[in-house]
Chains A and B, each alone.
Chain A
Amino acid sequence: MVAAPDSLVWELVKNNNSFMRKKNGRSSRSGSIRFSVERGNLTSRSTYKYSGLANSKTIDVTATDDNRATLTLKTKKAGTSGKKGMTGIALNKDFRRTEKTIKSQATDNYYRPDLKNAALAKYTAVYKSNRVAKGVKKVAPVKKGRN
């Protein structure tokens, strides 16, 4: 609880943790891709930068059950508490407004400016999926023969 430092936690956790998913990679370079599905991981990638376990400050944008989006940030108490470790901000406004919220949350006080672009990108994806789920947006059907 001396709040284990980020780099140390990453070293302990990078090779085995319960959130790691290894999938077959389909590129010429990789035989398997490592994903990490913990809360707080923005891109689900298993790297130090995006890890929701190792970092004391994380940003995540997720969709909730009722097709809305939430922005979760790690609080200062994440080093001691499970419950108080994360705060959620509901993103219910229109796209431009939430974009501003995400940008400000990421960059104010130098919270996690390196995640700003990834957070915005994820919000776009979440927003689109929410609209599809609500039926507002139709997904273009994939033409036959193209995969």
Chain B
Amino acid sequence: MAARPLVTVFSLSGEKSGETTLPAVMTAPMRPDIVQFVHTNMSKNNRQAYSVSPWAGKQVSASSWGTGRAVARIPRVGGGGTSRSGQGAFGNMCRGGRMFAPTKTWRKWHRKINSTQKRYAVASALAASAVPALVMARGHKVDDVPEIPLVMDTSIESAKKTSAAKDILASVGALADVDRASDSKKIRAGKGKARNRRYVLRRGPLIVYKSNDGVEQAFRNLPGVELCCVDRLNLLQLAPGGHMGRFCVWSQAALDALNDIYGKDGKNVPEDLMANADLARIINSDEIQSVLNPAKRANKKYLRKKNPLTSLKALAKLDPYAAAARESEQRAEAARQGNKAATLAKKRGVAKAKKQYKQAGKDFFEKISKQGDVCADGFNIGL
């Protein structure tokens, strides 16, 4: 954190009126786990004790009837003349008896939290309030806010009228969050509505000031708006619900005071576990890339299987000669086709010759097998 970035300071009319450096706290590590732990314990600290009356269910002089009377053995109210007599008493199962484990006022209502943890949590919450993404994620409407953290001129501390306060917030785009809070006002669900907690609404911006010259009274009536002095930053306000990222509006004096509160003489700013948490940059840095093995080739893509008996391309993959063989076969076939007539004729000629030859033999046989006198022609077999 060598040179810390500059934060614009806005005048009450919304224009840029100066700059300050970002306080060191805003670069503290953001630890949602610590914030959640501290918050759950801190929120127990303003509880009021409750308990049942210490003598509830015990103001009876009942005793058990023992065995042998065909009744259960719980203590029963003595006496007579009233429906109460003979009824069970004292047990948690009995009507009008004392409850199981009557609640006591000396239950541990409050929690001690280590100071270091409390400070760590506040530092984390402050750091988170400086990240627009986290503030948006918490639900605040900060789309129109020119810069986060939002720092206003110190003269905001002497605002006197609520109407002026509203205009101040509007000029800086913070009114959207206030509107969000005021639109969300609903009657509470549950018994709380009958116990002086009738309405619920969202939390709006938190105005942080150094000295109160009227801010408190000017801003406090705006729905959702809360005020806080820098010296007394409250985690329950910085991380409502245990969730970091409250939308804070600082006065310049307050922001600068943070440098004193969290500094060498003041409270310690916790250290980051990772100096550079940007994983993408680390992975892509030269130091790492130069030492890595070369990237592995992605797995071969498995395309649909093609049957080599029906697909020529698939066959060619398996039998590279198949194409050539097929071609020569086709050529031979074509040649054969061409010679078909000639070969046919030849065959027919051969067949004919054969036939003729056979016929000649038959004729001869016929001739010589004619009945007749052999010596008629003088022993000449005249043919």
Q: CB within 8 Å of B: which residues of A? A: 1-2, 4-9, 12-13, 16-19, 38-39, 53-54, 78-85
B131 within 8 A of A: yes
The residue in chain B whose Cβ has the minimal distance to the Cβ of A4 is B131
CA distance A39 to B1 in the complex (A): 31
Of B5, B22, B30, B173, the contact of A4 (CB 8 Å cutoff) = B30
Q: Is B5's CB under 8 angstroms from A1's CB?
A: yes
Chain A CB within 10 A, most for which of B4, B5, B32, B132: B132
CA distance A8 to B281 in the complex (A): 12
B345 within 8 A of A: no
Q: Is A1's CB under 8 angstroms from B278's CB?
A: no
Which residues in window 127-156 of B have CB below 8 A to A? 128, 130-139, 142-149
Chain B residues near A17 (CB, 8 Å)? Answer: 137-139
Q: Give the distance to chain A from B4, nearest Cβ to Cβ, in Å.
A: 8
The residue in chain B whose Cβ has the minimal distance to the Cβ of A54 is B133
Chain B residues near A19 (CB, 8 Å)? Answer: 137
Given A80-B132, A81-B132, A8 contacting B148 (CB threshold 8 A) = no
Chain A CB within 10 A, most for which of B26, B128, B137, B147: B137
Q: Is A8's CB under 8 angstroms from B7's CB?
A: no
CA distance A87 to B294 in the complex (A): 38
Chain A residues near B138 (CB, 8 Å)? Answer: 17-18
Chain A residues near B149 (CB, 8 Å)? Answer: 1
CA distance A8 to B279 in the complex (A): 8
Cβ contacts B118-132/A at 8 Å (1 or 0 each): 000000000010111
Q: Is A12's CB under 8 angstroms from B30's CB?
A: yes
Cβ contacts B255-280/A at 8 Å (1 or 0 each): 00000000000000000000011111
Q: Give the distance to chain A from B280, nearest Cβ to Cβ, in Å.
A: 6
The residue in chain B whose Cβ has the minimal distance to the Cβ of A9 is B133
Q: Could you pull out 21 A-B pairs where Cβ atoms are within 8 angstroms?
A: A1-B5, A1-B27, A1-B149, A2-B22, A2-B27, A4-B30, A4-B277, A5-B280, A7-B277, A9-B133, A12-B30, A16-B137, A18-B137, A19-B137, A39-B143, A53-B137, A79-B131, A80-B148, A81-B146, A82-B135, A82-B146
Q: Is B147's CB under 8 angstroms from A80's CB?
A: yes
Chain B residues near A1 (CB, 8 Å)? Answer: 5, 7, 22, 26-27, 130-131, 148-149
CA distance A7 to B32 in the complex (A): 15
Chain A residues near B135 (CB, 8 Å)? Answer: 82
Chain B residues near A6 (CB, 8 Å)? Answer: 278-280
B244 within 8 A of A: yes
Q: Give the distance to chain B from A129, nearest Cβ to Cβ, in Å.
A: 23
Chain B residues near A39 (CB, 8 Å)? Answer: 143
Q: Is B136's CB under 8 angstroms from A53's CB?
A: yes
B243 within 8 A of A: yes
Q: Is A82's CB under 8 angstroms from B143's CB?
A: yes
Complex A-B, nearest 10 residue pairs according to Cβ-Cβ distance, in ascending order: A18-B139, A5-B278, A17-B137, A82-B142, A82-B145, A7-B279, A53-B133, A8-B277, A4-B131, A5-B277
Q: Give the distance to chain B from A66, nearest Cβ to Cβ, in Å.
A: 20
CA distance A28 to B4 in the complex (A): 51
Q: Give the distance to chain A from B176, nearest Cβ to Cβ, in Å.
A: 10
Q: Is B146's CB under 8 angstroms from A2's CB?
A: no
Q: Give the distance to chain B from A5, nearest Cβ to Cβ, in Å.
A: 3
The residue in chain A whose Cβ has the minimal distance to the Cβ of B131 is A4
Q: Give the distance to chain B from A38, nearest Cβ to Cβ, in Å.
A: 7
Q: Is A2's CB under 8 angstroms from B1's CB?
A: yes
Chain B residues near A85 (CB, 8 Å)? Answer: 132
* Known pairs A2-B5, A4-B134, A83-B146 / 19 extra A-B pairs, C-beta < 8 Å: A1-B5, A2-B22, A4-B30, A4-B131, A4-B133, A5-B280, A5-B281, A7-B280, A9-B133, A17-B138, A38-B136, A79-B132, A81-B145, A81-B147, A82-B144, A82-B146, A82-B173, A83-B145, A84-B147
